[in-house]
Amino acid sequence: MHATASRRAFAKYATLSFNTDMTLELFVCSTYYFIVQAVTATRNGAWHGRSAENSGREGEAVRTQVGIIGAGPAGLFLAHLLHRSGVDCVVLENRSREYVESRVRAGVLERTTVQLMHEIGIGDRVVREGLVHAGTTLAVNGEPFHVDFGELLDGAAVTVYGQSEVMKDLHVSADRLGIPIHYEAQNVTPHDLDGERPKITWRSQKGVHSLECDFIAGCDGFHGVSRASIPADAIKVFERTYPFGWLGILAEVPPCNHELIYANHEHGFALASMRSPTRSRYYLQCSLDDKIEDWSDEAIWQELAVRIGDSFAPKITRGPSFEKSIAPLRSFVCSPLRYGRLFLAGDAAHIVPPTGAKGLNLAAADVIVLAKALAAFYASGSTREIDGYSARALDRIWKAERFSWWLTHLTHRFPHMDGFDRQMQVAELEYLRQSRAAQSVFAENYVGLPLNA
């Protein structure tokens, strides 16, 4: 029996027997529990003598099976999948819960991500409130055309549902399941990654804590501590930075179209997106030197109308923005996704420009593979799947990197572009407008490649 399952069985048994001969019953149960723990520990090379849920006292070493750094989408999806497989984990997050839930980021969910939400029991709200998009519109020089995913790919679609809503669903569910998450954990530091007994130390208001683990999952995003803890000569980094940024706004106004519009215009790229039928999300390609103060709401609405083009510009409802930011664009992959007993997943391992809406979806796909590998290890003791995690996840990651890079090049204005480059972009977009084969390739990548692709 698995250690977590045995602990749950023990808790149930201890409660049932409370009113009988408590001392004897508890003795028998405790003995049984510790024997199961010892057997499991021997098989897996780990010992789970204390429950991580009891952590909190300064200096106390707590033990778990998987220590997860970061409570973003990668960290919390992984925690849920491990919990479902009966694998113990503890999540350490350096920000507050409110901060993590309110971060405005991704908004387009692939089929695999929505399916994952259903599998871990948080699928209700995304079905109720998510907007199913069975296609998208692209525009070149103001002339739009539609790509119908549903028709090209047998009913395929993506779902528009904000990352902040995904995070709220994950947090509520983690509370219900009792998944331990330590927010505002300062100075989170992984240790002994190349040994048998890695650990993570962190500081809270109560003092310094230590979490001993079998494995550490680095789910702490691009600027996290996990990847930075790997010796430079143990990983390879592949990177492309783009010579422009995205100016994004959120406004409480209805979207100008029921689906997204990706617009390539002489002035640069624009994207009309949304978070709900009453909340619009718009982006404009901008210079990396631009400051947010340079862009008044009026200037943004004006430029959006120009770049989106005459077919949709009259449908843009203007209103005050309540969130405005400029984000740089980057393609980044580190390889392999493992160092000793540390596994990287999500933005900690890779970044895509947001053009293909792949970031959150890739994070979800990584941890599906990782959770399966870890569960297989705890079930059988075999390291075959965890040894294969990096290669398996990277295979799909590179395909999503390629698509995001390609779509960025197809739709943005690069500073070095001359007339020839511009004509190449226009020709490729016209080909996409006219060719069913080209549209099928676009649709297949946009809705998300299957996990085993």
Residues in contact with ligand FAD by the rule CB under 6 A: 69-75, 92-95, 100, 105-107, 163, 185, 188, 219-221, 224-225, 327, 346-347, 354, 357-360, 363
Nearest approach, Cβ of residue 165 and ligand FAD (Å): 13
Q: What are the CA-CA distances from residue 412 to residues 291, 292, 417, 422 (Å)?
A: 19, 20, 10, 10
Retrieve residue 418's tokens: 């001359």
Catalytic annotation present for 378: no
Burial of 38 (0-12, 13-18, 19+ CB in 10 A): middle
Catalytic annotation present for 236: no
H/E stretch holding 372 reads helix 359-380
CB distance 14 to 25 below 8 Å: yes
Identity of the residue, 156 or 400, whose beta carbon is nearer to ligand FAD in the bound complex = 400
The DSSP secondary-structure symbol of 258 reads S
Catalytic annotation present for 336: no
Q: At 1, is the secondary structure helix, strand, or coil?
A: coil
Catalytic residue among 2, 48, 133, 182: 133
CA–CA separation, 330 vs 448, rounded Å?
20
Catalytic annotation present for 133: yes
Burial of 248 (0-12, 13-18, 19+ CB in 10 A): buried
Nearest approach, Cβ of residue 150 and ligand FAD (Å): 21
Catalytic residue among 2, 48, 358, 412: 358
Identity of the residue, 33 or 162, whose beta carbon is nearer to ligand FAD in the bound complex = 162
Identity of the residue, 6 or 136, whose beta carbon is nearer to ligand FAD in the bound complex = 136
Identity of the residue, 246 or 378, whose beta carbon is nearer to ligand FAD in the bound complex = 246
Catalytic annotation present for 223: no
Q: What are the CA-CA distances from residue 41 to residues 37, 445, 448 (Å)?
A: 6, 43, 39
CA–CA separation, 135 vs 155, rounded Å?
10
Catalytic residue among 33, 161, 242, 262: 262
Catalytic residue among 161, 242, 378, 446: 446
Catalytic residue among 354, 378, 389, 412: 354
Identity of the residue, 107 or 309, whose beta carbon is nearer to ligand FAD in the bound complex = 107
Nearest approach, Cβ of residue 376 and ligand FAD (Å): 22
Q: At 408, is the secondary structure helix, strand, or coil?
A: helix
Which residues are tagged catalytic? 133, 262, 354, 358, 446
